Amino acid sequence: MAGVPIYILGTGLLVHFRTPDAQVGYLAMCQILVGFSTGILVLTSQLALMYSIAQADVAIGLALYALFGSIGSSTGVAIAGGMWTNILPYKIADYLPADAKDQAAAIYGDITLQMAEPIGSPIRDAVIAAYGDVMHKMVIAGVCLIPLLVIAVWVWRNKNVKEVQEKERAQRGNVL
């Protein structure tokens, strides 16, 4: 459970700092918090899995863990991709100045066209604002899925691995 508040903090702060005008240091701090907590959660979830199944089934259990982790990751990427392709073109069109609105589809479809505009130009600012808006919505969608993480961690069995190891040693005696 120790990783969950850190994860919530890092992801929640991303909602505030995932804007085009945010400083990179704050974004890096949020990513470090999320990465640290993810490391805690992944390791402890694998440990909980290995504890709850027979030793002979650990390889199968970890393979299934990886399978469902990949399914979850793919689902997240699909949601993010769907948001990106269904919201960004409209946001670019919304943010573009009136004289460039007819170029919205071309600007959306060509990164070199987006980058060709100098920083500070109205078209480049519109693209930056659209990207920031969509990324902000994607982070909010991620925050909305955090309750699933809390529920998943809550249902883990809390077992003391050290006691199990001591019990196994006592049963085996001095044989290694």
Query: pLDDT per residue over 57-109, tens digit each?
Result: 889 999 998 999 899 899 999 999 999 999 999 999 999 888 888 888 888 88
- Please report which residue ranges of 100-160 form alpha helices under DSSP H: 104-109, 111-116, 122-144, 146-154
Give per-residue pLDDT as tens, 158-176.
777 677 667 667 766 665 5
- Backbone region of residue 44 per phi and psi (left: phi > 0; alpha: psi in -120 to 50; beta: other values): alpha
**pLDDT of amino acid 116:** 84
Q: Which residues contact 114 (CB under 8 A, 6 or more apart)?
A: 107, 124, 127
Q: What is the mean pLDDT of the chain?
A: 85
Reported as half-sphere exposure (CB side, CA atoms, 13 A), residue 99 has a value of 2
Task: Give the Å distances, CA to CA, from 77 to 94, 147, 172.
Answer: 25, 19, 48
**pLDDT of amino acid 74:** 94
* Averaged pLDDT, 110-120: 85
Residue 55's pLDDT band (cuts 50, 70, 90): confident
Handedness of CA 150, 156, 157, 158 (dihedral sign): negative
**pLDDT of amino acid 142:** 86
Domain count, the chain: 2
Q: Are residues 30 and 80 in the same domain?
A: no
Q: Are residues 160 and 137 in the same domain?
A: no
* Averaged pLDDT, 98-127: 87
**Which helix H or strand E contains 72, and what residues bound it?**
helix 58-95
Q: Are residues 10 and 28 in the same domain?
A: yes
**Mean pLDDT comparison of 4-13, 60-69, 151-160, highest-scoring range:** 60-69
Q: Are residues 123 and 176 in the same domain?
A: no
- For residue 54, the 8-state DSSP code is -
Q: Are residues 66 and 126 in the same domain?
A: yes
pLDDT-above-70 percentage for the chain: 91
Q: Are residues 78 and 110 in the same domain?
A: yes
Q: Are residues 73 and 134 in the same domain?
A: yes
Q: Are residues 124 and 150 in the same domain?
A: no
Q: Are residues 63 and 84 in the same domain?
A: yes
**Which helix H or strand E contains 60, and what residues bound it?**
helix 58-95
Q: What angle do CA 27, 130, 30 make, to 5 degrees?
A: 10
Q: Are residues 30 and 77 in the same domain?
A: no
Expressed as residue numbers, the domain containing 157 is 1-52+146-176
Q: Are residues 108 and 151 in the same domain?
A: no
Q: Are residues 45 and 13 in the same domain?
A: yes
